[in-house]
Amino acid sequence: ELKVEQNPLFLSMQEGKNYTIYCNYSTTSDRLYWYRQDPGKSLESLFVLLSNGAVKQEGRLMASLDTKARLSTLHITAAVHDLSATYFCAVDGTDKLIFGTGTRLQVFP
């Protein structure tokens, strides 16, 4: 059964700092998704990574996918308070998404 693990589960970081969230999954998959969820809100799509070596960037967030290592990273550059949210990775598990545990990010001044 496909399992998806994220770490860290909780991340408190100062504005202006850089950090990386890791997403490991247990079986082969070529598709990985990153979502953002604000408290009490729904999931917002951030990135869709469809092949080995895929890299996508949007603002201060950059996501990459290494299918051989079964690893995706979400890198945060020069964090700002607006990035505070919970971030989920999700892997395609044959007609369904298998979500990671989520990483709750808190950015403080």
Contact status: 66 vs another protein (CB under 8 A)? no
Q: List Cα–Cα distances, 52 to 13, 67, 68, 84, in angstroms.
A: 29, 5, 7, 28
Q: Which of 50, 55, 59, 78 binds another protein (CB under 8 A)?
A: 50
Q: Of the listed pieces 13-21, 54-62, 65-73, 87-95, which binds another protein according to CB under 8 A?
A: 87-95
State in angstroms the smallest separation of the CB of 48 from another protein: 5
Contact status: 25 vs another protein (CB under 8 A)? no
Contact status: 42 vs another protein (CB under 8 A)? yes
E strand spans, the chain: 4-7, 10-14, 19-25, 32-37, 43-49, 55-58, 61-66, 71-76, 85-92, 97-99, 103-108
Q: Mapping DSSP to helix (H, G, I), strand (E, B) and coil, where does residue 70 land?
A: coil
Residues in contact with another protein by the rule CB under 8 A? 31, 33, 35, 41-45, 48, 50, 88, 90, 92-102
